[in-house]
Amino acid sequence: MLYRYDYDVYDRIWNTVDWSDSFSSIATDGTVSLNVFNPPSQVMSTAVTPINASKPLEFDLTSVKPGDEYYFYMYFAELQTLAKDDLREIDIFVSNTHFYGPFTPAPLQTVTVYSTSPQPAAVPMNVSIRMTAKSTLPPILNAVEVYSLIDTSQLETDSKDAQAVNNIKSTYNVSRIWQGDPCAPQNYSWDGLACSFSDSKPPRIISLNLSSSGLSGEISNNISGLVMLQKLDLSNNNLTGTVPDFLSKLSSLSSLNLSGNNLTGTVPADLVKKSKAGSLTLNIEGNHNLCLSSPCTAGGTGGNKKKSSLVIPIVAAVAGVLILIILSLVVVFCLVKKRRPQKALHPSDNIGASNAPVMIPPPVPFTDTRDHEKIESPNQRFTYAEVLQITNNFSRVIGRGGFGTVFHGHLGDVQVAVKMLSPSSSQGYKEFKAEAQILMKVHHRNLTSLIGFCDEGDKMGLIYEFMAQGDLHSHISNKNPQHLTWEDRLQISLDAAQGLEYLHNGCKPPIVHRDIKSTNILLNDKFEAKLADFGLSRACPPDADQTGVMPTMVAGTPGYLDPEYYHTQQLHEKSDVFSFGIVLLEVITSKPVIASSPDRTHLSKWVSQAISAQGDVKAILDPRLRGDYDTNSVWKAVEVAMTCVSHASNQRPTMSQVVIELSQCLNMEKARKNEGFTSGTVDSVEMVSLGIDNAYAPSAR
């Protein structure tokens, strides 16, 4: 019998073993409760035991290789109802060395004994499970997993290649499982990539195959970063636009397949020249509006001369009409503008001229010497008189902060929030300007939307969409009698993670928020989460070092502040990841980030101590959830949060990885609700191990 997905959410392959005549099988019709490693229930409901009670339960691992190292996971559950005086106590030996024990399997509860460090292989490798001297029953075993350690000591992929292919992944939203290093380990390169390997140099990407991958849009210029590329296959997608010139500058390119797309225009002459010379295999079939030479006529194969002769006069006539319309609109606009009262505008610093995210200056205290720093924006500029009208003379306050006061308002039928800068603000005009410029340029459904702004003398304000449900902190606080369900908490966390991931990976240059906290995550009337408060945000400048690190003055909120950033003053995206991990722990526990007790214990330390002491996720989970959750989903969320708050930034995941993991947590919880059971109501079972470390739990499929 073989079990895998969907019996196993991790798609591990479980085979039944043909034991010798010295062993017998036992089984139960009862339900065996599972633990964080989540073996299939069908696997845990059966076990083997020696027929001769005095004999150990032994087996050899014949597939191990000398010199390799392994991790063991052994699963036990007591399936029989024991008599009052019976005892089943076990010791485990591996290659005649004591591995773990003694311990007693728990009745109908999964217990996992596993190694937290790799075990060196011995050939033959023998596992012996023995009853202790005081045991009255023979040993049992339900299942065993053995994982060989993969050598990852080889060099990582060239950093520029890795950056380029990650940008390609982000641009096209590649649905393949592209995680970790693109080329390393050598036998686990990303699907569709081929790499060259050298003992002394980092691997280089030499082939990229994204055929039939559902790509759309233009051919990404990020491909130009793969300078060693020899083969490129983008066939059978929905790519549009022209064939870019940079492809002809990839000196090693010997095969280019662009067939089956919707490309237009003329193939660059250098590519055609290389194709004719035989140094490049070029395939452009199926692009009906793509030509090998100019002029490029309809269908790419020449057209009707008479028909072509009509094009020029028709285009000229249309162009003439368009010019007249545009001139008329300009005249009307000028006349209207003349009638409007002129605002006291000063020369612009032209911030709004580009569609790329802007460089954000460091925050400085408020000063009045800012005549040259007015904001230019395509967004709507409001006069102070209009702001008074929108807010009904600032009649309803909905929040206060270091920036100033936030007022409720109406813009027509739309509710808005108006954040007015106080002249005595600890933040000031620079941050006001920084936030406005970011939100003018950056748009995502999980970032707050800027409707407009006021910048009139010392009257400065930002006008946002109104977030009816306030901030996340107010909903997870123990002071709130209402509480969010576990599914709601995961969805909100995922929304916030997606917004942050967009800042890090969807913006060029990347933007570091610098002040991620639960009060800066706002909820609309549908409880959709959006990141807010970008006054401290910084864009990584183009001249930042290759790791994306930039020196900056430390800024942020105590408790959420990355300790590595605090000590080194080196800012990067992983600083935001740390802060997000703290928010995730708040969501899970509903505890304050810094305890009000005299020792002022930090939340991450409290969680770590509680899990290490009890090995039970219920010890940290918000008790208001009352068992209405999927235990494995909670464990996984805790693991994600604790990895995010790793002291060393290089041990933290990227926000892309966090989004994937939280999506899996959410799917597990939704699956539980759809199946109509509540695994969280079962008391958490004891984890028998060499150390409680949930980083060893696998990731769900």
Q: Are the C-beta atoms of residues 153 and 147 closer than 8 Å to each other?
A: no
Q: Got the DSSP string for 246-271?
A: GGGG-TT--EEE--SS--EEE--HHH
- pLDDT of amino acid 322: 57
Q: Which of helix, strand or coil describes residue 635?
A: helix
Q: Which of helix, strand or coil describes residue 77?
A: coil
- Out of 457-461, 552-556, 618-622, which region has the weakest mean confidence (pLDDT)? 552-556
Tell me the pLDDT band of 329, cut-offs 50, 70 and 90.
low
Question: Does the pLDDT of residue 261 top 70, yes or no?
Answer: yes
Tell me the pLDDT band of 285, cut-offs 50, 70 and 90.
very high
The secondary structure of residue 695, as a DSSP letter, is G
| Residue 88, token pair as written in the block | 């089943």
- Out of 232-236, 288-292, 468-472, 479-483, which region has the weakest mean confidence (pLDDT)? 479-483
pLDDT tens digit string along 333-381? 444 443 333 332 222 232 222 222 222 222 333 233 333 345 455 447 8
Distance CA 474, CA 480 (A): 7
Catalytic positions, written as ranges: 515
Q: Are the C-beta atoms of residues 261 and 238 closer than 8 Å to each other?
A: yes
**Please, is 449 exposed, middle or buried when counting C-beta atoms within 10 Å of its C-beta (0-12, 13-18, 19+)?**
middle
Which of 56-70, 132-146, 376-390, 678-692 is most confident?
A: 132-146
- 3-state SS, 16-72, equals CCCCCCCEEEEECCCCCECCCCCCCHHHHCEEEEECCCCCCEEEEECCCCCCCEEEE
Q: Parallel, antiparallel, or unpaired: how do β-strands 216-217 and 238-239 relate?
A: parallel
Number of neighbours of residue 589 by Cβ within 10 angstroms:
21
E-assigned strands of 488-572?
511-512, 521-523, 529-531, 538-539, 550-551, 570-571
| Residue 364, token pair as written in the block | 């400085």
Helices (H), 350-506: 384-390, 429-441, 472-476, 486-501
Distance CA 249, CA 537 (A): 37
CATH class of 484-510+539-675: mainly alpha
**Please, is 65 exposed, middle or buried when counting C-beta atoms within 10 Å of its C-beta (0-12, 13-18, 19+)?**
exposed
Question: Does the pLDDT of residue 406 top 60, yes or no?
Answer: yes
- Out of 174-188, 347-361, 394-408, 564-578, which region has the weakest mean confidence (pLDDT)? 347-361
Please list the residue range(s) of the chain that carry CATH number 3.80.10.10: 159-291
**Please, is 4 exposed, middle or buried when counting C-beta atoms within 10 Å of its C-beta (0-12, 13-18, 19+)?**
middle
Which of 76-80, 179-183, 477-481 is most confident?
A: 76-80
The mean pLDDT of the chain is 79
Q: Parallel, antiparallel, or unpaired: how do β-strands 529-531 and 119-120 relate?
A: unpaired
CA-based R_g, the chain, Å: 31
Question: Does the pLDDT of residue 263 top 90, yes or no?
Answer: yes
Please list the residue range(s) of the chain that carry CATH number 1.10.510.10: 484-510+539-675
Number of neighbours of residue 247 by Cβ within 10 angstroms:
23
Question: Does the pLDDT of residue 570 top 60, yes or no?
Answer: yes
406-438 burial by CB neighbour count: b if 16+ within 10 A, else e? bbbbebeeeebbbbbbbeebebbbbbbbbbbbb
Q: What is the CATH number of domain 159-291?
A: 3.80.10.10
Region of residue 586 (phi > 0: left; psi between -120 and 50: alpha; otherwise: beta): alpha
Q: Got the DSSP string for 267-300?
A: --HHHHHHHHHTS-EEE-TT-TEEESSSS--GGG
Which residue has better confidence, 652 or 440? Answer: 652
Q: Are the C-beta atoms of residues 670 and 487 closer than 8 Å to each other?
A: yes
- pLDDT of amino acid 94: 85
Tell me the pLDDT band of 482, cut-offs 50, 70 and 90.
confident
pLDDT tens digit string along 8-53? 877 888 888 776 678 888 999 988 888 778 889 889 999 999 988 8
Please list the residue range(s) of the chain that carry CATH number 2.60.120: 2-148
Instruction: Check the annotation: does 419 bind a ligand.
Output: yes
Question: Does the pLDDT of residue 182 top 70, yes or no?
Answer: yes
Tokens 């183009």 sit at which residue? 542
- 3-state SS, 410-448, equals EECCEEEEEEEECCCCCCCHHHHHHHHHHHHHCCCCCEC
Distance CA 587, CA 493 (A): 8
- pLDDT of amino acid 331: 45
Tokens 């006529």 sit at which residue? 297
One of 3.30.70, 2.40.50, 2.60.120, 1.10.3470 is the CATH number of 2-148, namely 2.60.120
Question: Does the pLDDT of residue 507 top 50, yes or no?
Answer: yes
- Out of 222-226, 614-618, 697-701, which region has the weakest mean confidence (pLDDT)? 697-701
Distance CA 231, CA 209 (A): 8
Q: pTM above the 0.75 mark?
A: no
